[in-house]
Chain A
Amino acid sequence: MYVVLGLGLNIVVGVAGLLDLGYVAFYAVGAYSYALLNLHFDMGFWAVLPIGALLAALFGIVLGFPVLRLRGDYLAIVTLGFGEIIRLVLENWNDFSQGPSGIANIPRPGFFGIELSLDQAILYTYYLMAALVVITIFVVNRLQDSRLGRAWIALREDEIACQAMGIDKTRTKLTAFALGATWAGMVGVIFAAKTTFINPASFTFLESAIILSIVVLGGMGSIFGVLLGALILILLPEYLRALSDYRMLAFGAILVTMMVFRPQGLIANVRRSYRFRKNPGSGTP
């Protein structure tokens, strides 16, 4: 799950260079879409999956529109605030979200109307997750190697030069932001289906921080990097259990060390190379 979240945030932070500290908010939007739509309208997993993704994207656009004018640190702070606002709303708006006690008995995903045993359902959800990972890798890979993906990377490099190349800065950033949010929304829906219970405590800033760490540790803009980062950050805490209380401290230390000694992450993003014949006879404009 963290893999997909990492890859989604990677579009926003790693590729387009927009530091988003409130990423978990979109994840929450997805999870609560499923929980609430199911509770009130009895909608199934497959119906809500696109709706949750869409709602998250919508939140992304609504938040992104005013906020993406800000740069770097300011953007980080506003997104951080946004993440907290979503969580606080979920915690305090009891009529809407049942507050801190959360929503329970969320159904697992259906399988063409066939009843699954508990074990089967858990396994099935796990496969779904794996499928989403594969799809995400595929999509992110294609995006990176496209007109749009290049524009994101270029925006991270130099905004003014980008505009001088005819790139619409706001539109391009908003697309990255909304796409990242879409992915978080989808994972949110699956998360709710997997755990069958959600409450606001699942969506704290700590989650955003972990996802961000995955991207930073693994390598900004690199798919393999993110996979590796997710693996390390999920498994490491298990091995560090002995240190339990100092886990977060170790976390922080690792990140700071990374920033100082290898800011491009464990696996740096390698630019694609192209091969040319000496004389591309036709097609020369």
Chain B
Amino acid sequence: MSTPILDVTGLSMHFGGIRAVDQVDLDIKSGEIVALIGPNGAGKTTFFNCLTGIYNPTAGEIVLHGPGGKHHRLNGLKPNKVTEKGVARTFQNIRLFQNMTVLENVMIGRHCRTRSFIAGAIFRTRHNRREERQIIDHSYAILRKVGLEKSVNELAKNLSYGEQRRLEIGRALATEPFLLLLDEPAAGMNPQETRELDGLISRIRDDGLAILLIEHDMKLVMSISDRIFVMDYGKGIAQGSPAEVRANPAVVKAYLGEEA
């Protein structure tokens, strides 16, 4: 418990003159649920995009401490390589494979943990059939975990909003991450669904994953997080336990200032 698994130091991402992320430090320890909050446009999603290789950060260091004491520098890695190292994510604007089934979406998540290629697909040796079977079983087990086992053969686009968010989480879990990044998983959910999500995230943590969560639903954030980081205008302005952050004048100002 509580060995560090992610260390981000001085991370910056500039778009021309816009400093979307500006000298941010953040760390996550194993088994933690950490929330990243901040007003709209604070740079939270951009921060995720830097971690997952979608953007190559302007400056800073991202170091991942994998299981077995392996250290990986994530800067400049391609997104698929980051996923291979054990970091998975969901997207703020849901990016499911809409015309594939629910099960197939999760099966795609198994891609980076399986090997079959052209010859395997055509000749279907015993080994390949076994691998395919394992992909299906594993994916089905994940769908049960996220509560979508009734919709395995539905097309992803026919799911409700809340279900789509859960499917994205399931798809990310299929890549066998030890760090899971969730970008506003409760957005568009009703209170009932949000409560279920709270339970799901806690269960995922209990399975031994660390979670970094971007979320605007403060009730969820406050109840579930071990620690909270706050960003505003690209900068990290506060961090601490939920109680500390709530009492922090800089945070109150950032949020009230936004509404004023």
Contact = CB atoms under 8 A, between A and B. Distances in A.
A160 B133 CA distance: 27
User: Among B96, B108, B131, B134, which residue has the most Cβ atoms of chain A within 10 A?
Assistant: B108
Contact of B121 (A146, A161, A168, A283): A146
A96 interface: no
A169 B112 CA distance: 12
B106 to A, nearest CB: 10
Nearest to B109: A165
A165 B122 contact: no
A223 interface: no
Contacts of B155: 271
B206 interface: no
Contacts of A209: none
A143 B153 contact: no
Interface in B149-206: 149, 152-153, 155, 171-172, 174-175
Majority SS at the chain B contact face:
helix
B110 to A, nearest CB: 8
A151 B117 CA distance: 11
B141 interface: yes
B112 A165 contact: yes
B121 A142 contact: yes
Contacts of A143: 118, 121-122
B95 interface: yes
A149 interface: yes
Give the size range of A's interface with the partner: 20 to 34
A211 B127 CA distance: 36
A54 to B, nearest CB: 14
Interface in B68-82: 78-80
User: Among A147, A153, A157, which residue has the most Cβ atoms of chain B within 10 A?
Assistant: A147
Nearest to A278: B149
A273 B110 CA distance: 18
B178 to A, nearest CB: 14
Contacts of B54: 160, 163-164
Nearest to A166: B112
Nearest to B143: A276
A249 to B, nearest CB: 33
A161 B88 CA distance: 11
Given A142-B124, A160-B95, A274-B152, A166 B111 contact: yes
Contacts, number: 128
Contact of B100 (A153, A164, A167, A169): A153
B116 interface: yes
B132 A158 contact: no
Given A161-B96, A164-B88, A274-B103, A283 B137 contact: yes
A175 interface: yes
A150 B104 CA distance: 8
Given A147-B114, A148-B121, A274-B152, A167 B80 contact: yes
B100 to A, nearest CB: 6
A147 B116 contact: yes
25 contacts: A147-B111, A147-B117, A147-B121, A148-B118, A154-B97, A154-B100, A158-B97, A160-B54, A161-B91, A163-B78, A164-B52, A164-B80, A164-B95, A165-B109, A165-B175, A166-B84, A166-B109, A175-B117, A271-B104, A273-B152, A274-B140, A276-B149, A276-B152, A280-B137, A284-B141
Given A150-B100, A166-B109, 10 more contacts: A163-B53, A164-B88, A165-B109, A166-B80, A167-B108, A179-B118, A271-B101, A274-B152, A283-B134, A284-B137
Interface of A: 139, 142-143, 146-151, 153-154, 157-158, 160-169, 175, 179, 271-274, 276, 280, 283-285
Report, nearest first, the 8 A-B pairs whose CB atoms are least far apart.
A166-B112, A146-B121, A166-B83, A163-B79, A273-B153, A161-B95, A157-B97, A283-B137
Interface of B: 52-54, 78-80, 83-84, 88-89, 91, 95-101, 103-104, 107-114, 116-118, 120-122, 124, 131-138, 140-141, 149, 152-153, 155, 171-172, 174-175
